[in-house]
Structures are given as structure tokens and as C-alpha cells.
Amino acid sequence: MKFGVVTFPGSNCDEDMIHVLEGLGQPVVRLWHKDHDLQGVDMVVLPGGFSFGDYLRSGAIARFSPIMQEVAAHAKKGGLVLGVCNGFQVLCEAGLVPGALLHNEGQKFISKNVHIRPATRKTLLTSAVPDKALTIPIAHGEGRYHADAATLKALQEGDQVLFRYCDADGKIHDGANPNGSKENIAGVCNKGRNVFGMMPHPERACDPRLGNTDGRSLFDSLLSAVLA
């Protein structure tokens, strides 16, 4: 499976993502935000960071980068797209997934391990992820997922919520919500189920040397589902 990882000015998790994907034996190409060619990749990854310094709103400038025209066209044809943290913000700004990411409750940047659990089995990214609390790091100042009541209802009815924040026992409640996200939502997908956005960083939880490999289950799920 050929991956393309996009670098915007201010991206800082692109090499982390490349390290993980290449460690799983997958071919990866580095894509620059001004590129107009996705080089035949199967999946585009928009990594975490602070694209264009997070001026205006996080992802608000990056969504106008030339490569996003190609990403949108790729998604429209059914191509796979994953946005993590800042990448999720870019996807929301570009309208490729529903909702928006607002400043965290408390207006503070949060960097810590949190727990999430899959909310659906009906996506490539989650189909084989264990139904339990996964320990995955977050690092964001604007990670509070927001959508109006109609959108939240549509997400629920369409089974488009990927992950919800939970406690260590897998229970979903307000106390386990690190940033005030509506309905504890940590990630969503589009109606076509080929564009995925999430705030937690699975690529930061894939190396045994870091003491946590819970994030690898997402990539294993994706690869096994695609191969199947």
C-alpha cells in the first residue's frame, strides 16, 4: 500500500508518520504542500503540527495549499485520506469531514496520554482495533470537536464517529473528555468512509521503545482490511 505524507510549512509530525509507515514495510513518498501530483499513492496522510503557524485558525490556511485540490479529488474518487491532529483540522476546514475543531475548554494546550475506544467497526481504520481503551497521546490547543445538533445526529445515524474519549476502563463520560469535545468525539469519517480525521496521535504510540504500541492497532487494521 503506497502512502503519501504531506508536509506543510509548520508540520512537525510528518517524519514520525513516515517512520511508522516505513517500519510497517510500506512504501512512502514525501509530498510538499505546493505539489500538484500525488504520485499514485493509495492513501494521503495529513500529519500533525502547526501548519502556517496556526494563524487565523488551525488548518485555515493549509486547506488552500495547492496539494489540497489533489487531495480533494483523490477523496472524491474514493481514495483514502487520513488527517491526524493538525491534519484533522485541515480536513475540517476543507470540508472533507464534518465539524470543526475549536479551542480546548480552559484555553490551554494539552499534551498527555489519553484513552480512546473505537465507536464503529465499519471503517478500514477501526475494523480490527480491539474494543477496549487505547492509550494514545494528544498534543493540541484547538482539539475540541464541535458540530451542530443536526450534524451530530447525522454522524450518529451514519455511524461516522471513529473514536470517543474514555477512561482507562473504556467508560465514556465527561470526566474522560480532555478538551470538551461534543459527545466525547475524538475522530470522525466522511459519509463515503474513506476520509478519516482524528485528534490523538496513533503514530506516537507504535514503537516499543516508547513503552506503548496501542496506536499500531489502527495501522494494522487499515493494512489488513485493504489487503483483504
Q: What is the pLDDT of residues 29-71, one digit of tens each?
A: 999 999 999 999 999 999 999 999 998 899 999 999 999 999 9
Q: What is the mean pLDDT of residues 79-85?
A: 98
Q: What is the mean pLDDT of residues 176-191?
A: 98
Tens digits of per-residue pLDDT, 93-139? 999 999 999 999 989 999 999 999 999 999 999 999 999 999 999 99
Give catalytic residue positions.
85, 201, 203
* pLDDT surpasses 90 at 228: no
Nearest residue to 54 (alpha-carbon basis) of 138, 143, 136: 143
Strands (E), the chain: 3-7, 28-32, 43-46, 80-84, 100-102, 110-118, 134-140, 144-146, 161-166, 185-189, 195-198
Residue 7 · residue 13 · CB < 8 Å: no
* 3-state SS assignment for residue 17: helix
Nearest residue to 83 (alpha-carbon basis) of 55, 45, 31: 45
Q: How far apart are CA 226 and CA 228, in angstroms?
A: 5
pLDDT of the residue at 180: 98
Q: What percent of the chain has pLDDT over 70?
A: 100
Q: What is the mean pLDDT of residues 146-175?
A: 98
Q: What DSSP element (H or E) covers 72?
A: helix 66-76
pLDDT band at 227 (very low <50, low <70, confident <90, very high): confident
Report field, pTM of the whole predicted structure over 0.85: yes
